[in-house]
Chain A
Amino acid sequence: DVKVTQSSRYLVKRTGEKVFLECVQDMDHENMFWYRQDPGLGLRLIYFSYDVKMKEKGDIPEGYSVSREKKERFSLILESASTNQTSMYLCASSFSPGGNEKLFFGSGTQLSVL
């Protein structure tokens, strides 16, 4: 089975801190994604990556950056955490190219920014 592992299940940070969320997948997938999930808003795409060192902005990239130095690892970075970034963060990966490119999700990181 595909495994997508997120480093932390729960995280509490202070406003202004730099926050790193780590995600690792073990299926050699080309594509990796970061979503955030908020009540009433659903899943929204922050950033994604098609390959090592490549990144693309999603629908809500403001306040975030990403890093993909190795194929299996995709990091989400909050340069200066703010309270409105309190959310559930979900990492996902998928195989490329085309067809039934279903996403495999990690268990999520619930981030609270105080």
Chain B
Amino acid sequence: GQNIDQPTEMTATEGAIVQINCTYQTSGFNGLFWYQQHAGEAPTFLSYNVLDGLEEKGRFSSFLSRSKGYSYLLLKELQMKDSASYLCAVRVKGYSTLTFGKGTMLLVSP
């Protein structure tokens, strides 16, 4: 099976930078996804990493270290609308399914 850990809650201030960490233990790792979910809405795709390194997409970046079983999502220039739950998910080789962590609730305050 897989084990995915991420902090339950984080708070940050508008305009700041926040890093949300995700650690995982799995056999046959084949990709890590980050999703954003606003309250009462469906999760939406943010980023995908399968190789080590940093993937940058506008204000959001995602990093992966396969040897350490570690990823983080970096959000820059935080806006109030970034208040949401951020879900880390792992895919295992040979399967199209994703296993999700419990999510990190981010609250951005003025």
Contact = CB atoms under 8 A, between A and B. Distances in A.
Task: Report, as a range, how many residues of chain A touch the other chain.
Answer: 20 to 34
A41 B101 CA distance: 8
Contact of B42 (A48, A101, A106): A106
A27 interface: no
Contacts of B33: 102-103
A107 B41 contact: yes
Interface string B78-110: 000000000101010000111111110000000
Nearest to A50: B96
B10 to A, nearest CB: 16
Contacts of A106: 42
Contacts of A40: 102
A101 B91 contact: yes
Nearest to A42: B102
Nearest to B102: A42
Given A90-B42, A102-B45, A96 B96 contact: yes
Task: Report, as a range, how many residues of chain B touch the other chain.
Answer: 20 to 34
B43 interface: yes
A101 B42 CA distance: 17
Given A102-B48, A107-B42, A31 B103 contact: no
Given A43-B103, A45-B99, A94-B96, 17 more contacts: A4-B42, A41-B102, A42-B100, A42-B103, A43-B43, A43-B87, A43-B100, A45-B97, A48-B96, A50-B96, A96-B96, A103-B35, A103-B98, A105-B42, A105-B43, A106-B42, A108-B42
13 contacts: A4-B42, A31-B96, A43-B89, A45-B98, A50-B96, A58-B97, A94-B96, A101-B96, A103-B35, A103-B98, A105-B44, A107-B41, A108-B41
Q: Which 4 pairs across A and B sit closest by C-beta, in order of nearness? A: A42-B102, A105-B42, A43-B100, A102-B45
